[in-house]
């Protein structure tokens, strides 16, 4: 059994004997019973690790502040390693099963009964492991499929409330009058026949729903969506194809020149910026693009684009705080990623109010993420309770079967 699998089983509190199953069938029946008790916990660990790797792969591919260009490759390999480990484990169990069926020459009726019970345990094991393997392989597929990120399969356009109901999804937002009374609906990804949609109103507030059918439920959304929403935020699907964007030369001169006034951390400072407007040639989506120089206090102040370029780093203008990366680190990473000179930066958050650009990218992310985490915890507790009950049921069933056959 692979070391990584051993480690996961150990984390789950399980036990797996590597001794010859034929040497002591009763002992090994007990070993496999212990394994069965923890199979759901083991499954959760495998799926969680897989989803974590997917998130890392997603973030590494799109974020200039991520580790190295080949981190994505490593993450994909890690996911594939988990899948391969599971395949090896399944193959080993299948061989055990075949060996036991081939060598059933026990002297006593009790040993035969113990042998049969062990076979049943192995069959249950194999079924569970095959199910886990399907989840892991789905994760590996998603992590290596760029279309999952760039989302060319998005539903697109604006959908009315009735149209959303027709899609089989419950209403998740109220209409906004900011840009018409319509919803923008994006199909984020599909897992096990369940599609996760994002609804945005005209003010760009985001809502998520997990339509019927997902076995992983809210936990999958909680682990997966945060990585996706860094990448997909506006209705235009051509965000990263810069050749599709053209500058609106008529817009800039009417907005007062290159000096903007911006309050940051409750301190007012003047920032030299150069703000431009671009239009997507495919759908007409507007993007505001800014480059920022040093502020009057000598520190970098990242201005921003209409797009929510979260991969460049966590930055919450409305709270006057940043995430793990400083403004300078984010700007340097952005400049390197985009091939810009160090004096010019494509930056992170909302456009300067001084330019009269409507702020349509301010979200209450912190509150939303907190609610999502709390919901995920509730779902996890329910799942753990169900897994525990199922494990007890299987253990009791196996115990009763073994006792009844031996007696």
pLDDT number for residue 220: 29
Pairwise CA distance, residues 282 & 242, whole Å? 11
Cα separation of 258 and 260, whole Å?
7
Higher pLDDT pick, 292 / 27: 27
Indicate the DSSP class of residue 237: T
Residues 140-177 have pLDDT tens digits of: 555 444 333 333 233 222 233 343 333 333 333 322 22
SS3 content of the chain, % helix, strand, coil (to 5): 50, 15, 35
Q: What is the pLDDT of residue 83?
A: 60
pLDDT score at 2:
41
pLDDT on residue 393 = 79
- Given a cut of 70, is residue 313 above it in pLDDT? no
Q: What is the pLDDT of residue 346?
A: 30
What value does the mean pLDDT take over residues 324-339?
Answer: 43
Residue 326: other Cβ atoms inside 10 A: 15
pLDDT attached to residue 337 = 43
Beta strands in 18-165 (DSSP E): 158-159
Across the range 20-25, mean pLDDT stands at 40
pTM score over 0.85: no
- Sequence-ordered list of residues with C-beta below 8 angstroms from that of 59, at least 6 positions apart, any chain: 66, 227, 230, 311
Assigned token pair, 115: 């042998």
Give the highest mean pLDDT range of 22-26, 106-110, 134-138.
134-138
Range picked from 178-182, 266-270, 325-329, 398-402 for highest mean pLDDT: 398-402
User: Quick one: which H or E segment has residue 98?
Assistant: helix 71-102
pLDDT score of 230: 25
Asked if 300 and 306 count as a contact pair (C-beta separation under 8 A), the reply is no
Q: Which residue has the tokens 């790797």?
A: 53
Q: Is it the case that residue 292 has pLDDT exceeding 50?
A: no
- Asked whether the beta carbons of 220 and 51 are under 8 A apart, the reply is yes
- Asked whether the predicted pLDDT for residue 127 surpasses 50, the reply is yes
Q: What percent of the chain has pLDDT over 90?
A: 0
According to the model, what pLDDT value does residue 16 have?
40
In degrees and rounded to multiples of 5, residue 169 shows phi and psi of -110, 145
pLDDT of residue 327: 41
Q: HSE on the CB side for 188, CA within 13 Å?
A: 26
Give the pLDDT mean for 254-271: 32
Considering the chain, what is the average pLDDT of its residues?
44
The rounded distance, in Å, linking the Cα atoms of 342 and 345 is: 7
pLDDT interval class at 117 (50, 70, 90): low
Q: Which residue has the higher pLDDT, 28 or 224?
A: 28
Residue 405 has pLDDT above 70, yes or no: no
Highest mean pLDDT out of 36-40, 128-132, 307-311, 403-407: 128-132
- The DSSP result for 327-382, as a single string, is HHHHHHHHHHHHT--TT-----SPPPGGGT--------HHHHHHHHHHHHHHHHHH
């Amino acid at each position: 059994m692979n070391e990584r699998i051993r480690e996961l089983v150990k984390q789950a509190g399980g036990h797996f004997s590597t001794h010859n199953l034929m040497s002591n069938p009763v002992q090994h029946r007990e070993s496999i019973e212990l394994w069965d008790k923890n199979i759901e916990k083991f499954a959760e660990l495998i799926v969680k690790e897989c989803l974590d790797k997917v998130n890392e792969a997603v973030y590494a591919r799109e974020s200039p502040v991520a580790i190295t260009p080949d981190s994505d490759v490593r993450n994909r390999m890690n996911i594939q390693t988990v899948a391969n480990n599971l395949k090896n484990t399944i193959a080993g169990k299948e061989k055990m099963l075949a060996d036991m069926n081939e060598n059933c020459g026990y002297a006593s009726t009790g040993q035969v009964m113990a042998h049969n019970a062990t076979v049943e345990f192995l069959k249950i094991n194999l079924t569970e492991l095959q199910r886990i393997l399907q989840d892991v392989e789905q994760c590996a597929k998603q992590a290596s499929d760029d279309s999952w990120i760039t989302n060319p399969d998005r539903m697109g356009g604006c959908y009315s409330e009735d149209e959303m109901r027709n899609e089989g999804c419950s209403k998740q937002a109220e209409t906004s009058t900011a840009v018409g009374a319509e919803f923008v609906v994006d199909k984020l990804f599909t897992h096990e026949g369940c599609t996760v949609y994002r609804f945005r109103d005209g003010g760009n507030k985001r809502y998520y729903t997990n339509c019927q059918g997902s076995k992983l439920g809210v936990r999958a959304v909680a682990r997966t969506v945060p990585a996706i929403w860094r990448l997909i935020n506006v209705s235009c699907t051509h965000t990263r194809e810069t050749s599709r964007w053209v500058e609106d030369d008529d817009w800039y001169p009417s907005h007062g020149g290159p000096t903007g006034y911006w309050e940051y951390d409750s301190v007012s400072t003047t920032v030299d910026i150069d703000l431009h407007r671009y239009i997507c040639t495919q759908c007409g989506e507007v993007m505001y693009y800014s480059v920022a120089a040093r502020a009057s206090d000598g520190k970098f102040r990242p201005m921003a684009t209409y797009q929510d370029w979260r991969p460049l780093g966590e930055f919450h203008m409305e709270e006057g705080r940043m995430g793990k990366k400083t403004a300078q680190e984010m700007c340097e990473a952005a400049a390197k990623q985009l091939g810009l000179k160090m004096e010019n930066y494509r930056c992170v958050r909302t456009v300067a109010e001084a330019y009269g650009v409507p702020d349509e990218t301010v979200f209450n992310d912190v509150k939303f993420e907190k609610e999502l985490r709390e919901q995920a915890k509730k779902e996890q507790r329910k799942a753990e309770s169900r897994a525990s009950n199922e494990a007890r049921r299987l253990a009791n069933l196996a115990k009763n079967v073994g006792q009844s056959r031996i007696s």
